[in-house]
Amino acid sequence: MTVLPHDPVRERMLAQDLLDALWQEDLYGMREHCRLVAADDTPLAALAVDLGAAGTLLWLGRRLDGPRPLQLGAGDDRPPVVLQRDGSAMALGAAPALEALQSADWWPGRSGRLQALFALAEAQAAHTLAHEPAILDRLAAAPRALLSWEAVCCLRDRPFHPLARAKAWGDAAGPHAGFDAESGQPVWLHWIAVPLHRLRTGSAMEASAQPLARSLLQPDELDRLAARAEAAGAQRGYLWMPVHPWQWQQQAHAAASGQAPCIDLGSGIGAAYPTASLRSLVMHGRPELHVKLSLGVQALGARRTLPPRYLHNGALAQQCLAQLRARDPWLGQHLLLCDERDWWALRQHDSLIAEPGELACVLRRYPGDMAGGTWLLPMAACAALTASNDLPALRRLPCTDADEAWEAFRCIAALLLETGLRCFANGVMPELHGQNVVLVVGDEGPRGLLLRDHDTLRICPPLLAEAGVDVPAYAVDTSTPNTLMLHAPAQLLAYFQTLAIEVNLYAIAAAIAVAFDSDERTGWRILREEIARLLPAGTGNRTAEIARTALLDAPEWPFKQLLAPLLARDTASTGMPSALGSLRNPLRENGVPS
């Protein structure tokens, strides 16, 4: 395994994510073994974790009054983690800190898989930080280009999760050069010819007319591909379909298991640039057109392939959201949708549910009718700090001090909260985390939201019926846990609390607090004020009262646990392993500063 050079920025970043996840998930009952050591006259503190015979692990930083206990390395030059044992003290990096934790008397046993995933995350963090200057240079050259901001998103990845950066590229020991957003390099598409009788599709376009190649390629590229298809005897009766080149390398040896009918048309035709999600690519010269390709890379315990039932459900979800836009004037004005109805996949089974989606793709079209002068900013970029603790997205909005940053946060939060609550009132909830939600920014700042990746739209049939909204006919695999169709309003609202607020908005508030030397509790106060404004008491509206009680008055909130479910899963599937725990309600009146 490659030994990475010491980097205090990387170590602090990884140690912070590790502490955040361990504390919030209370992994293996860790909180019972912790005590906060702090003086009344200073914000500096230490979280002491009793390891038993292995000593005491000290996390050093500034006290936080919220879901997280400390901001590591804040306000002084102390190392973020120190191990005390037998009268001595030793500064630790993030990986050795995890090793020390696994030696605690109360830890159930050392996990080689956990250590391996953390090493992958460490390697990816080093890769990203090494590319940060180039990422910021590309941003300066094209500050309104969505692709520039996709690379900025990589500086943060999934907030508060130490393993979010752990992308497992098969046998590769670390990041796969050239297939990521950080490098800024194009990926040259691979092409195969799929027999029409072996095709699944949700597209109304005639497959024999080669809609994928005609949509994605320039005329000269289309001619080159057509010549290859003619030479291979695949000019008629086939769909020419793009494949991620890494995915084809992995699949080529498996021809006997289902890919045999496909004809290999080779690579090098059609340049596309990876986004932060890896499997979604921006076509060269066509920023409004993305292609989403199956990619067997493992991230957060899930393989990034595209099972056709997901694509089928995504088209139905888009139709449902379009219906809400048509019936709700506010959503019609403030919510835009990517068009993801056109998809294709190799048919390997008779049942849609059984299809693995190892070779599949989706066209994602961004709206062409946005107001002039507007540009797109992924919400994930708003939480992306640089190595020097600058916040490029907030600077671009533009914010020059803490007051302006918190006002921008209020504007962003108001848009996201109202979108989520209006969706809840109609019995649906999109996944409102920072990768799926894109801000539509005008001259006066954020003015709307754009949603992408519709296949995770959760629905609550009783609430849909109550609101008079058609229930999407989702295809669901009943042999696995189903989180798409939820029958209790509280279950649906939990996805708003966990993804929209605890992950998306909280990450932005925490980043603002660091970048502008402010207090992240200001963010929680703003969120409470905006929710109270959107959900006034005493309206008599049942769903509004359910939401108000759960958000403002309940003593606890649900919390999305990722570490324990990830460690409990032996193999990767297409769904991210997770479970719901609980944490103290961060919006309770007595917990929010005035």
The β-bridge partners of 59 are: 47, 81
d(CA 215, CA 291): 10
d(CA 384, CA 402): 16
CB crowding 320-339: b at 16 or more within 10 Å, else e: bbbebbeebeebeebbbbbb
Decide: residue 536, CB within 10 A, 0-12 exposed, 13-18 middle, 19+ buried.
exposed
> Virtual CA dihedral for 395, 398, 401, 407, nearest 10 degrees?
-120
2 C-beta neighbours (distance < 10 Å), count: 9
217, 225 Cβ separation under 8 angstroms: yes
Containing H/E element for 323? Answer: helix 308-327
d(CA 184, CA 37): 45
CB crowding 167-197: b at 16 or more within 10 Å, else e: bbbeeeebbbeebbbbbbebbebbbbbbeee
Taking the domains of the chain in order of start, what are their residue ranges?
Answer: 8-110, 371-591
- In 3D, which of 591, 572, 512 has the Cα closest to residue 305? 572
pLDDT at 6: 79
Cα–Cα distances in Å, from 420 out to 247, 321, 541, 584? 35, 12, 16, 21
Return the ∠ at Cα 307 (arms to 258 and 360), rounded to 5°: 65
Return the ∠ at Cα 105 (arms to 102 and 109), rounded to 5°: 45
The list of the chain residues with pLDDT below 70 reads 1-3, 74-77, 171-177, 253-259, 569-576, 589-594
pLDDT at 592: 47
Tokens found for residue 161: 């999760």
Overall pTM > 0.85: yes
pLDDT at 234: 97
CA dihedral sign of residues 183, 189, 190, 194: positive
- In 3D, which of 234, 198, 240 has the Cα closest to residue 215? 240
435 C-beta neighbours (distance < 10 Å), count: 21
232, 298 Cβ separation under 8 angstroms: no
Tokens found for residue 170: 């098969």
CATH architecture of residue range(s) 371-591: Orthogonal Bundle (1.10)
Please give the DSSP secondary-structure letter assigned to residue 198.
G
d(CA 470, CA 134): 47
Q: Which residues 6+ apart lie within 8 Å of 356 measured at CB?
A: 305, 307, 348
Return the ∠ at Cα 68 (arms to 24 and 577), rounded to 5°: 30
Please give the DSSP secondary-structure letter assigned to residue 562.
-
Q: What φ, ψ does residue 459 adopt, rounded to 5°?
A: -135, 150
pLDDT at 174: 55
pLDDT at 177: 66
- In 3D, which of 89, 37, 81, 74 has the Cα closest to residue 59? 81
91, 82 Cβ separation under 8 angstroms: yes
349, 332 Cβ separation under 8 angstroms: no
Cα–Cα distances in Å, from 253 out to 247, 250, 259? 11, 7, 9
pLDDT digits (tens, 9 = 90+) for 301-335: 778 899 999 999 999 999 999 999 999 999 999 99
d(CA 409, CA 521): 13
Amino acid letter at 167? K
- The verdict on whether omega for the bond into residue 108 sits within 30 degrees of 0, i.e. cis, is no
Containing H/E element for 68? Answer: none
Q: Which residues 6+ apart lie within 8 Å of 427 measured at CB?
A: 459, 460, 461, 462, 463, 464, 465, 466, 467, 469, 492
